Amino acid sequence: MVNTLIRIRHQLPGRTRLSLQNEWNPGTIESIVRSYPGVFSATYNTETKSILIHHEYFIHARQLVQYIHHFHPPKENNFSYKRELLFGVSALIVDLLIPARSLLGYKQLLRPGAILSVYASRNILRNGAGTLLHDKKPNADTLSSAAIIASLLKGNPRSALVILFMSTLSEMITELTANKTKNYVRDMMNLDISTVWKVDRNGVEKKVSMQEIKPGDEIVVFEGEKICADGTITKGSASVDESSITGEYIPKDVHQQHEVYAGTIVTSGNLHILVEQVGNETAVSRIVKLIEDAQQKKAPIQSYADQLSERLVPLSFLLAGAIFLTTRSWDRVLNMLVIDFVCGIKLSTATAISASIGKAARTGALIKGGEYVEKLAQLDTIILDKTGTITKGKPVVKQIIPYTGFSEREILRYVASAEEHSSHPIAEAMVNLAREWNLNLPEHNHEQIEQIVGHGVKAVIGEKEVLVGNRRLLLKEKVEPAGLTFISKLENRSNAVYVAIDGHVAGIIVIEDAIRDGMKRTINQLRREGVDEVVMITGDKHQVAQEVHQELQLDRFYAEVMPHEKARYVRDYKNAGNTVMMVGDGINDAPALAYADVGVTMGGKRTDIAVEASDVVITSDNPLLLGEMVQLSKRTMSTIQQNFTITIAVNSIAIMLGAFGAIAPIVGAAIHNAATIGVLLNSTKLLLKEERVQWKQPSQLPTTSLVESA
**Residues assigned a catalytic role:** 385
- What end-to-end distance do the CA atoms of the chain give, in Å? 84
Question: Residue 263: in which H helix or E strand, if any?
Answer: none
User: In angstroms, rounded to a whole number, what is the distance separating the alpha carbons of residues 457 and 420?
Assistant: 11
Contact in structure between 284 and 244 (CB atoms under 8 Å): yes
Per-residue DSSP letter, 530: T
Burial of 510 (0-12, 13-18, 19+ CB in 10 A): middle
Using DSSP, state whether 100 is helix, strand or coil: coil
User: In angstroms, rounded to a whole number, what is the distance separating the alpha carbons of residues 22 and 29?
Assistant: 9
Q: Is the C-alpha dihedral spanning 190, 195, 196, 198 positive or negative? A: positive
User: In angstroms, rounded to a whole number, what is the distance separating the alpha carbons of residues 393 and 513?
Assistant: 6
Distances (CA, A) of 70 to 32, 60, 612, 641: 11, 16, 42, 53
Contact in structure between 324 and 627 (CB atoms under 8 Å): no
Burial of 158 (0-12, 13-18, 19+ CB in 10 A): middle
Closest among 122, 62, 59 to 87, alpha carbons compared: 122
Closest among 623, 184, 93 to 393, alpha carbons compared: 623
Closest among 402, 488, 485, 416 to 449, alpha carbons compared: 416
Torsion of CA 166, 169, 173, 179, to 10 degrees: 140
Contact in structure between 661 and 333 (CB atoms under 8 Å): no
Beta-strand relationship, 533-537 and 381-385:
parallel
Burial of 442 (0-12, 13-18, 19+ CB in 10 A): middle
User: In angstroms, rounded to a whole number, what is the distance separating the alpha carbons of residues 99 and 176?
Assistant: 36
Closest among 709, 708, 705 to 437, alpha carbons compared: 705
Instruction: Tell me what percent of the chain is helix, strand and coil, each rounded to the nearest 5.
Output: 50, 20, 30
Contact in structure between 227 and 260 (CB atoms under 8 Å): yes
Closest among 102, 684, 6, 17 to 354, alpha carbons compared: 684
Per-residue DSSP letter, 603: S
Amino acid letter, residue 287: I
Beta-strand relationship, 50-55 and 39-45:
antiparallel
Per-residue DSSP letter, 135: S
